[in-house]
Amino acid sequence: MRHSPRVIVSCALTGGIHTPSMSAGLPVTAQEMIEQGIGAVESGAAILHLHARDPADGRPDPRPETYKPFVTELHEKTDAILNITTGGSTRMSVDDRLAAAKHFQPELASLNLGSMNFVYSGAAKRDFDWQYPWEREYLLQSEDTIFSNTFRQIESTLQMLGKEAGTKFEFECYDVGHLYTLAYFADRGLVEPPFFVQTVLGVLGGIGPDLDNLLYLVRTADRLFGDDYYLSAFGAGKNQIPVVTQSMLLGGNVRVGLEDNLFIGKGEMAPNNAAQVDLAVSIMQNLGLQLATPDEVRNLLGLKGKASTKFGRP
């Protein structure tokens, strides 16, 4: 593992899993994305991991025109690295999932490294006052949907966004085999170090959130990539803060945000994304670690810079 001199904090603002009825703090509209994105950056996030939602009913929305109002403002009003998802939602086609990243050509985009079961139906069995008719069925269908990330899809994304647009990737690894997939494409020269490896623990269908599993992922990545990668990690739901802390102790970086967890403590809903960034930064400071700035992250990861993206106004 390549140890960064300071901790990189990513914040995933809204995602494509949680629904509006599950949390009043979940940002949906462009204005909410702007306010919460700025708040997260002011609290210390160097990277904003971004999805979009239909402002009418909060459902995941892949259209570039839905992204545009808030990514334009975040591009102009913060120095954060805007990381556009290519995962989107398990209900979207691959073309839909790639549409925003293709349009904006960001410095950084997420890339999932394997097809998998990705189940988040548990919330549908709880007693929510559902605001919109789509929500409950959307959660339940995850039990019967494959999250498709085939080798051909991965290669196409690496070519189109990486080789042609100069975008680097947050490689999302939900299990140990995904690390070997990254090694395969690296061996073929389709991706070059340093790799930003985002290990994901605790998603139903992926590797569990046990400390031993994170250690195993790190040991495997060390064998495959040596000093050619930066580790980052996040845990789903209640696993968020334990995994964040473990990653810091291992010399890695972290991701928090309402995409991954709606709570700030046991039984306490997070009011916004900044609250989770504040908590992560507090842990970091108590461990005697320092926070990476966006420009430091750009230098570490070899990103192309804000001026080379297409977020700005025409």
Q: Flag whether 313 is in a domain.
A: no
On whether residue 267 sits in a domain, the answer given is: yes
- Is the pLDDT reported for residue 253 higher than 90? yes
Kindly state whether residue 304 falls inside one of the protein's structural domains: yes
CATH number for 44: 3.20.20.70
Q: Is residue 314 part of a domain?
A: no
Tokens 């106004």 found at = 313
Taking only the tens place, the pLDDT of each residue in 40-67 is 999 999 999 999 999 999 999 999 999 9
Calculate the CA 299 to chain-centre distance.
Answer: 20
Q: Which residues pair with 256 in a beta bridge?
A: 11
In a domain, 58, yes or no: yes
Give domain status of residue 112, yes or no.
Answer: yes
Does residue 20 belong to any structural domain of this protein?
yes
167/159 Cα distance (integer angstroms): 10
Q: Predicted confidence band at 125 (pLDDT cuts at 50, 70, 90)?
A: confident
The 10 Å Cβ neighbour count of residue 291 is 18
- Mean pLDDT, residues 65-89 taken together: 97
Domain encompassing residue 247:
9-308
If one counts the domains in the chain, the total is: 1
**Would you state the structure tokens that stand for residue 95, as one six-digit string?**
């073309």
Mean pLDDT across 127-138? 93
- How much is the pTM? 0.97
Residue 291 placed within a domain: yes
For residue 67, give every residue at least 6 positions away whose Cβ sits within 8 Å of its Cβ, in sequence order, or none. Answer: 50, 52, 84, 100, 103, 104
Confidence of residue 299 (pLDDT cuts 50, 70, 90): very high
